[in-house]
Chain A
Amino acid sequence: MLFNPPHPAETKVLTRRFGLPNSESIDTYLANDGYKAFLKAREMSQEQIIEEVKLSSLRGRGGAGFPTGMKWSFVPRTSPKPKYIVVNADESEPGTCKDRVLMENDPHGLIEGVLIAALSIGAHRGWVYIRGEYRYLIDIMDRAIEEAYKHGYLGKNIRGTGFDFDFSTHTGAGAYECGEESALLESLEGKRGIPRIRPPFPAVSGAFQCPTILNNVETYYAVPPIILNGGKWYADLGVPKAGGTRMLCLSGHVNTPGVYEIPLGFPMMRAINELGGGMLNGNKLKAVVPGGSSCPLLRAEECDINMDYDSLAKVKSMLGSGGMVVLDETTDMVKFALRIMRFYQHESCGWCIPCREGTLWLKKLLTRLDAGVGSSSDISLVGELAKNMFGRTFCPLGDAAAMPTMSIIEKFRDEFEARLAGVTLPPELVSIA
């Protein structure tokens, strides 16, 4: 089982069952408040459920941070079409590994969150779209789903409540783009993971063109505690406008990387020093990727900050998906920028011109700069190309590629200049540099 020993700085809500013997089994789950929230929600009206989620100020944990209750309220509940629940478990934002931990340790928590979402809109079918690389998690979820069916928590007339719900796993096959909700739906329907034109949004026309609630794994996990303890209780765990706790995936140059559950608004330096056990080898902090590779980087001096949506927006970055990557003074920022661009180039679906061509050009350009070949104007060109991509692509992937790149060029330009200065060009390359 993949989890960190509990840390005193954590607030354990979603991870409260981690470490219990057989935590993945329905028996353990039922012995520890399992499916109580569902039974409680069954007694509530659809409006009450959505109201409670709104009250919790829970925001989507996939990265975009859209208020969950509001998203659910957009579903036209009176539509004659069937309604569906889809779980986005296509966790693939570099730096992010939290959904995996939740599902591995507590698969029934997801099923219960999904059931409550289903109640809120009258859905009777759902899928969890799990990235292909997480095959072992598909096996874990399949077993949990089977258990839930056996114990009457899925299927027809769930626990005698008269509510029906079918749920199954659906594997991805290797595509970051399918983490984007509309691309995920295309993929779910057996197509290439190309995002859809929006509007309409999934709430109105989602899976199989029917009204759909689509949230990240972690978002669903927050729902049963919200129903059990009340939205206000959950909201009070975080900061205004962003309630509750969230999973922090700490990686990079810290002594104790891991996945920790912290309240919204937790100070970033405490995350590094307390949860992360301080910087690796006692080195100095250089930068932090606050929430997955698409977020603009923060310089060390910008890291004295609380981790919530508004505070990060103030420093022109984002809370993102919870993937916090810590970079120490030894980090080669040119290489780092290149690696990020290689990723986005590899994952660009190719649908729109700026992202398809922009990421490839930037990858080639950064590869050349990394080799020390180029001129100062090439460094500026990296920033300009990223800017020309930003805000003009069909889906957010172009922005995701542009934002870290623009921030690295802005904040660490000297390292690029130094790289070029350190290389003496062979005469035949002088002309292109």
Chain B
Amino acid sequence: MSDLVKFTLDGRELQAAPGTLVIDAAKKAGIEIPAFCYYEGLSLQAACRMCLVEVKGAPKLLAACTLPVAENMVIETESPTVVDARKFTLEFLLTNHPLDCPVCDKGGECELQDMVFRYGAGESRFTEIKHHVDEKQWSPVVFFDAPRCILCYRCVRICDEGMGVKALGVTNRGAYSEITPNMGSHLECDECGACIDICPVGALTSGIYRYQTRPWEMDHVGTICTHCGDGCKTTLGVRNNEIIRGNNRDRSGINGEFLCIKGRYAFDFINHPDRLQSPLMRVNGKLEEVSWSKALVAVAQKFSEIKAASGKIGIIGSNRTSNEENFYLRKFAQAIGTPHLDHRRTGDIATLLDALSGRADALATAEDLYTAQSVLVVGADLAQQHPFLAFQMRANWRHHQSRTFVVTQGPVREDAFATRNLRAEPGQEIDAVTTLADDLKSSGDLIVVFGDSIRGDSLRKLVSFIASLGVPAKYICLLDYSNSRGAFDMGLIPGDGGMSAPEMLAASDLDALWVVGANPLADAALASQNAFVVVQDLFLTETAQRADIVLPAASAYEKTGTVTNTCGQVQRLSKALNVMGAKPDLDIFHLIARGMRLDLGPAQPDKIFSEIRATVKGYDIPLPVIATGGAALTNPVNGNVPHAAASAALVRGSRDTLFTSGTLGRYSPILSKVMEAPGGLYRK
């Protein structure tokens, strides 16, 4: 490009697009200009003065974070004057900063420590009394220690700009300025903890992590959050077989550093005292702890008997188990000859894929939500149900002025920046959407994001309406759990003549019901009084209480494998820890199969994944992407989708809020402890 600006940075001749900030241009050239307040993606502050650089001809040092490169500009980022300025700014900063690093959570990963290590004065000239304010607790999640705060305003901005919550502000003035929560003494917010993670020092600390460990004592395991369907990467800090924290400070994964309260803190169901750590078997009408071998033998025997007698076995799979487990479970069903296989449908992906017949490239990813020129949300409280997708949309609007259209039954956070927002009762959304035709036609490429009320015919109507607009459009069918999409793709759906999950529950002649990681009896009864019920789960759910045999399962954080998010992106789970007594569902399947003398092929996740790549439509995705922790988009060949016609009637979303997460949410102390829980959808 000829319109690049030429400039000299630390003696190197460089080029950048006009308007590029010096701090960004330097970063691109591999030169890090230090800063506290500057933060990629957030608004500019020029407050910390750490990024001051020397520009030839300028009478004083200039802030690199607000200075655009100019033709022939000569910049020095490490000249003696610059280094001096940094040293003395740090000296000023340390005057009121308590040097309590030995007991500070941030010690060892503190940006202030690092900066002082690099530039700071070894000697302190400040001999006056420091200004002290007592620490405050703002919520079960957020603690604030004002003296440690360096007032970089990152927390204020991530909450306002990133999350759209605006729960933090600044009060008082001058050296007594203090970050303050929206309720004066406490916070009412998403409790996402983004403010804590973004804090460069130990001013904001987490109620879960504080005073638990030194950061270097932990192993860091990057895996996929097991709660909603967005598929955020969460990096679990693990010490001594215990998860101490979750964050994503390395910005890996599709979500960068975004996480909601579930991804950051709601791993704590793992240690809930009610967690099952031994198989249970019904003896004289009561569930009693038994050994794994006894329980497995009993299951294998009973299943074999029913199979031999050509009895009816129903299988309800999970929205949270891995693709490998789901794939293996389907093979299991085939091997024992039962077509009665299903999982809870939280969105009508079947109809969508069928309606998109013949179109490739029709599914949008979370990344697309950040770049599309317009987004239409139909029938979802996105900020609550899919907080990461909502974050992406907000960032798109903030950074690219994208246009947002919202059709929902009640107020949603997206209203605040929506070009147009309409209210429509569930089932009547499409009529409202059609009134947006002119707006949508003129808004460039479009992503349509829709919730569980858009299904069957109304979904087909939506797809044909969007097609009639003549703009490039992609879709995201919202699915509620971490592997809802994978459960569908791996074929946890009824075979020929097979019953759906509600039909299994309603049937009076079921001989056995095998429920894996699901709780269908939470709000339905099992009609077959004499059915032999086997449940694999983490907790004694309503369904497990009805079981004859309960097998304690491992959570997603205790296994490897892959999951597919609501956008159809496949990512890899990494095992963070073992929970004594529990086994991954795959191991349980394999052991039962062995007990039944069934040959289902290898039971190692990697080998099963190879099989998936070879046999499942759209899953021939590049291995290196997955192996390196990336997200690979599946490419389903649309049309002729099995079970599409019947699917609409089966769709029932979870209605989870930011603070609920099905069974796991009930057993997460932190989710139930925040005052906002359980919350509700479509509230102002």
Contact = CB atoms under 8 A, between A and B. Distances in A.
A120 interface: no
B92 interface: yes
Given A347-B174, A350-B174, A391-B60, A364 B92 contact: no
B66 A348 contact: no
Contacts of B462: none
Contact of B46 (A175, A197, A389): A197
A74 B585 CA distance: 71
Given A391-B60, A392-B61, A357 B173 contact: no
11 contacts: A197-B45, A345-B174, A347-B174, A350-B170, A352-B47, A353-B47, A353-B89, A353-B151, A354-B89, A391-B61, A394-B49
Nearest to B173: A350
Given A360-B131, A392-B85, A394-B49, A350 B61 contact: no
Contact of B151 (A175, A192, A350): A350
Contacts of B176: 350
**Max count, chain A CB within 10 A of own CB: residue among B49, B125, B127, B174:** B174
A365 B126 CA distance: 9
A368 B126 CA distance: 12
Contact of A357 (B44, B46, B95): B95
Main DSSP-derived SS at the B contact region: loop
A175 B173 CA distance: 10
Given A192-B173, A350-B170, A359-B175, 20 more contacts: A175-B173, A197-B46, A197-B66, A346-B174, A348-B175, A350-B175, A351-B47, A352-B49, A353-B47, A353-B48, A353-B89, A353-B151, A356-B177, A358-B92, A359-B174, A360-B131, A360-B175, A368-B128, A392-B61, A394-B47
Nearest to A177: B173
Contact of B48 (A347, A352, A368, A391): A352
Interface in A174-192: 175, 192
A432 interface: yes
Contacts of B93: 353, 357
B46 A394 contact: yes
B96 interface: yes
A392 B89 contact: yes
Nearest to A388: B88
A391 B176 CA distance: 23
B440 to A, nearest CB: 27
A158 B47 CA distance: 44
A28 interface: no
B48 A349 contact: no
Contact of A353 (B60, B92, B125, B172): B92
Interface residues of B, number: 35
Name the interface size band of chain A.
Answer: 20 to 34
B353 interface: no
B192 to A, nearest CB: 25
A122 to B, nearest CB: 28
Interface in B128-182: 128-129, 131, 150-151, 170, 172-177
Contacts of A351: 45, 47, 151
A85 to B, nearest CB: 27
A354 B129 contact: no
Contacts of B85: 388, 392
Contact of B126 (A175, A345, A353, A361): A361
B174 A348 contact: yes
B141 to A, nearest CB: 27
Given A197-B66, A364-B129, A391-B61, A353 B174 contact: no
Contacts of B173: 175, 192, 348-350
Given A357-B92, A388-B88, A392-B61, A192 B46 contact: no
Interface string B87-100: 01101110110000
A131 to B, nearest CB: 16
A209 interface: no
A364 B48 CA distance: 22
B52 interface: yes
Nearest to A358: B92
B131 A350 contact: no
Contacts of B172: 350
A393 to B, nearest CB: 7
Contacts of A356: 92, 151, 174-175, 177
A381 interface: yes
A432 B124 CA distance: 12
A356 B93 CA distance: 9
A175 B150 CA distance: 22
**Which are the 10 A-B pairs with shortest beta-carbon distances?**
A350-B177, A357-B92, A364-B128, A388-B88, A391-B60, A348-B174, A360-B175, A350-B174, A352-B47, A361-B95
Contacts of A175: 173
Contacts of A360: 95-96, 131, 174-175
A357 B175 contact: yes
Interface string A412-433: 0000000000000000000010
Contacts of A346: 174
Contacts of A358: 92
Contacts of B91: 388
A375 to B, nearest CB: 10
Contact of B170 (A192, A345, A348, A391): A192
